[in-house]
Structure 1
Amino acid sequence: MGYEEVSKAYRVFDIEAGQVVISRDVNLDGSTFGLQLPITDEDVDDLDFELLDLDDEELRQMEYTQTGKRKNRLNDEDTAAPRPRAVRQRPGLEESSAPENNSSRQEEDEETKDSSDSTPPVFWRASANAVEAAVDLSEPSTFEAAVSGPDQVHWRKAIHAELESMRLRGVFRAAKLPNGQRAISTKWVFKIKRKADGSIEKYKARLVAKGFRQKYGIDYTETFSPVVKYVTLRMVIAISKHFGWPIDQLDVVTAFLYGVMKEQVFCVIPEGVELDISDFDPCLYIKTSDGHCVFILVYVDDVLVTGSSLELIAQTKNDLKTRFEMTDSGKCAFVLGIELLDGEDGSVTLCQRRYVDDILKRFGMDDCKAVASPVDMSSRLVSSDATTKVDAPFREAVGALMHLTTATRPDIAFAVGYVSRFMENPQEEHWVAVKRIFRYLQGTKTHGICYKLSARIDFRGYSDADWAGDLTDRKSTSGYTFMLLGAPVSWGSKKQPSVSLSTTEAEYIALSLAIQEGKWIHRLLCEIVMAANEEGPELMIHEDNQSCIKMTKNPVNHGRAKHIDIKYHHIRDEVKRGEVKLKYCETAVMLADIMTKGLHGPHHKEMTTALGIRASSD
């Protein structure tokens, strides 16, 4: 029946007793609700894709007029009852090995209800129309909606292309389900790929298995599939602009079908390409030849290629195309929802203007009044013990903002992390704080990270802390940012796990977090620039607390350091070995200050400018 509102428990309806019971632990059993339906030989014989067997003439007959009305309606059988489920059989299971009769023992069904089939609760009635208006109605959520909607011609072509790709690669075959085996159901996922200006580039249909119904050790053993990190993406783009390298984009057609399904699914590296996997990001590939280098970034089916030699880039792209079916999009201008805008001064700006517009419309804030900073300095938020929550899409809004701050907007990192502390029981004042972030984005929707040309590769880090800034538990906030070519390549804002007894202790804990991130970034950067025959920069972190710097060099200061957890004292070892260098800077020029607390409008603008965040030119 759902979750209990006042405790962490389930609301379960007892059929025999006829009443609702509150229970912390439940076993979900779908077998008594008819979810396990046997599949007969007749069902297997009836499995086909007749709905998709349309020739070009039939597709042309289903075009629409400019008014959106159909010229010809679908046949009745096209919108009839749902089709029988196709059986996906794991490799190695032969049809002849199945016994003729089912065992009397009923297999335990551990399937859970498909969350996509349930109706979401209506918890934001006041602005429901605003949310509905922002939904992309051209992306259907079900198969029936796709083949009967206004864009059915495009979706049918996309479905046909997906099934044809699966047929050519032998992805699955129809078969009788052997006794003792479970059928993992499938789902069609429809997505429209758009260009930077929002126009439609391609209709994509993907047939996927409902992985949440798989059983560990039987249907799968490992689900990890890495994608390139945003830090690596930003770093490679910045370095490419520094050296004047081109950045090309490739799109892998049906990328997931190139994996070999056993216990795990991997993309096989093509033979002859001679690529080395980065030691610090498994989705960064490096190729060197005759003093030149090529870098390949992989994010599922999006591939970026850059390097010092046009000839080597072309050769690498051709090698990839011989192994994978790819489309060459040429110069990269839009990747992972991020626009790459070249400036007249040779700079490149990474921004998400369209995404900001989308989330403003989604949450009904597209007509709001802009403000100069994302945090209201006149109020301080605290946790609430109220039994009711604000009637607003708080979690959805914070999640959308987190994606933005992770990719291109470090200027809202603290503000988003601040409101995320109240996810469990958000109140009206917390929702007002979220809306203020939207109001700030309204006035800065074209802002992004700008990497500029420089005579040398300038890399430096900043670490800061806001002591006892959380009024609820008096814990501090750590913040860091690492600058590359005049703009941040990595940043973070995180509430500290323990209460600090002094500003020195808070800064010391924050410095530990910054060094952990900085060492990985520094090694990745050195790997990239050394492939380009350049010398890697040193790891220098700026700190505005003199006592903290002295503590890293002098372990005798027991009065302030004896109670600090030993895990933070790796700082001393890093400094002693020369892996990290610390440099004092004044608080006025501490760029990580914006990651630890809210700032007034003029100061916030000053910090964003110093961070290299500026408005992108059209």
Structure 2
Amino acid sequence: MVRVLLALAASKSWKLWQMDVKNAFLHGEIDQDIYMEQPSGFQSKRHQDYEGKLAIVLVYVDDLIITGDNDSEIERTRENLFVRFQMKELGELKHFIGLEIDQSNKGRFLCQQKYAKDLLKKYGMLECKPIAKPIEVNARLCSEEGKDLEDVTMYQQIVGILIYFTLSRPDIAYAVGVVSRFIQIPKKPQLEAVCQILRYVKGTIDLGLLYKKSGVCKIVGYCDADYGGDHDTRRSTTGYVFNLGSGAISWCSKRQPTVSLSTTEAEYRAMAMAAQESTWLIHLMRDLHQLDDYPMILRRDNLSAFCLAENPVFHARTKYVEVHYHFVREKVLQEEIEMSHVKTDDQVADILTKGLSNTKFTEFKKQLGMMTKAEL
């Protein structure tokens, strides 16, 4: 949600403000029953009250981001919050739940530079030799290979920190997903893989996502699957990413829950996960009054899965694909999603499903809207 708001604000040239609620109430005890009712004036139909003045408030516990398309409406919202709560004005948005937001002539830049430095310093990697990518091509990690670690605590702590680091770093999402599979009983090869991620982070410590001032708010998605890529279970890995304007706002790199019997099945499972995410994004953009009447484009490089979504005649030949994955077909018929074929060499979602060559890895990072602070 934070990335969506940043991308939207950048494309529309909206200002972003931050406020804080005094959080003493979080530690208080409730000594009586509390009942809630629907606020007066609530309308069940969406967009009914929207008159061209929009103020958006994003709340995370006691931290708030406020933005919108009308300065007077934003100011009125801020004043109302001060009347009803004990608030602290923090000015224009710069930090939010560990994320750093910089404003430049190009747009809004999201990174976790301090978080990266603290991570490397804590585990003695601040002076390590950097490398060009977080995981090697055809990297093979198995639970039964390698020497046991005497103490698994450090491994578990680093992986936990890296998972949070993926909030702004889709480039390490696949590598972190792989090492997290071994968090219960890691071995020496897995620890070496974690150290490789840290060495990559050292060389890209100020890398982040740039959301440009483009005025373009169209969402485009990419999805892919690496068939049978997990050497322990032979499950496939789903990868998808959605860009809003110039930068990535949502991504996933996740091992599929069951073994797929073909590349088509693995790809179609990935497509189904991406379709679910696209549905959530569509509803979110509608709530923000920013969705035009167009289907969301979902690009993939597997022709069999593409035909399966577009043509119901193929369904009879693929009965092993679970019925609920035909959710994708329904979304295509409802014109919420438009399937689009993309060449394998241009499949950005590959960065979330497998280790890549240096050339491809660098190119896909650019397509995700990633750059360093020095490049701003």
One fold, TM greater than 0.5?
A: yes
Q: Which residue of 1 aligns with 2:19?
A: 250
SS at match of 1:581: strand
From 249, 274, 277, the counterpart of 1:514 = 274
TM-score scaled by length of structure 1: 0.57
Q: Which residue of 2 aligns with 1:172?
A: none
**Farther-moved stretch of structure 1 (552-561 vs 332-341):** 552-561
Is it true that 1:549 corresponds to 2:306 in the alignment?
yes
SS at match of 1:422: coil
Structure 2: unaligned runs, 5 residues or longer: none
Over 3 Å counting, the alpha-carbon distance change for 1:509 and 1:379 in structure 2 is closer
Instruction: Give the residue type in structure 2 aligned to 1:523.
Output: H
* Mapped contact 1:487–1:613 kept (Cα < 8 A): yes
Over 3 Å counting, the alpha-carbon distance change for 1:268 and 1:342 in structure 2 is farther
Q: Which residue of 2 aligns with 1:591?
A: 348
Identity %: 36
> Deviations 1:358-387 (Å, cap 9, x if unpaired)?
111112211111000000236411112789
Structure 2: distance between partners of 1:558 and 1:268? 47
Instruction: Give the residue type in structure 2 aligned to 1:431.
Output: L
SS at match of 1:366: coil
Q: Which residue of 2 aligns with 1:321?
A: 82
Q: Which residue of 2 aligns with 1:566?
A: 323
* Mapped contact 1:457–1:537 kept (Cα < 8 A): no
Instruction: Give the residue type in structure 2 aligned to 1:456.
Output: V
SS at match of 1:461: strand
> Deviations 1:298-347 (Å, cap 9, x if unpaired)?
111111111122222111111111111111111111111111111223x1
From 154, 162, 173, the counterpart of 1:401 = 162
Is it true that 1:312 corresponds to 2:69 in the alignment?
no
Measure how far apart 1:267 and its partner are. 10
> Deviations 1:444-502 (Å, cap 9, x if unpaired)?
01011111122432310011011111122221111000000111100001111222222
**Residue correspondences, number:** 374
Instruction: Give the residue type in structure 2 aligned to 1:396.
Output: Q
Structure 2: distance between partners of 1:446 and 1:236? 21
Structure 1: distance between partners of 2:357 and 2:96? 33
Measure how far apart 1:556 and its partner are. 3.4
From 241, 259, 270, the counterpart of 2:10 = 241
* Mapped contact 1:293–1:308 kept (Cα < 8 A): yes
Aligned-residue CA RMSD (Å): 2.8
Over 3 Å counting, the alpha-carbon distance change for 1:378 and 1:561 in structure 2 is closer
Measure how far apart 1:259 and its partner are. 8.1
Over 3 Å counting, the alpha-carbon distance change for 1:326 and 1:423 in structure 2 is same
Instruction: Give the residue type in structure 2 aligned to 1:335.
Output: F
Instruction: Give the residue type in structure 1 aligned to 2:8.
Output: I
Q: Which residue of 2 aligns with 1:65?
A: none
Structure 1: unaligned runs, 5 residues or longer: 1-231, 280-285
Higher normalized helix content (fraction of residues) = 2
Is it true that 1:538 corresponds to 2:295 in the alignment?
yes
Q: Which residue of 2 aligns with 1:420?
A: 180
Question: Is the radius of gyration larger for structure 1 or structure 2?
Answer: 1
Structure 1: distance between partners of 2:231 and 2:258? 14
Compare relative contact order (CA 8 Å, sep 6+) and give the higher one, 1 or 2.
2
Measure how far apart 1:416 and its partner are. 0.3
Within-5 A mapping of 1:175-574 = 232-254=1-23, 256-257=25-26, 261=30, 290-345=51-106, 347-377=107-137, 379-384=139-144, 388-392=148-152, 393-405=154-166, 407-530=167-290, 535=292, 537-557=294-314, 560-574=317-331
Structure 1: distance between partners of 2:202 and 2:242? 26
TM-score scaled by length of structure 2: 0.91
Is it true that 1:614 corresponds to 2:374 in the alignment?
no
Instruction: Give the residue type in structure 2 aligned to 1:312.
Output: E
Over 3 Å counting, the alpha-carbon distance change for 1:363 and 1:576 in structure 2 is same
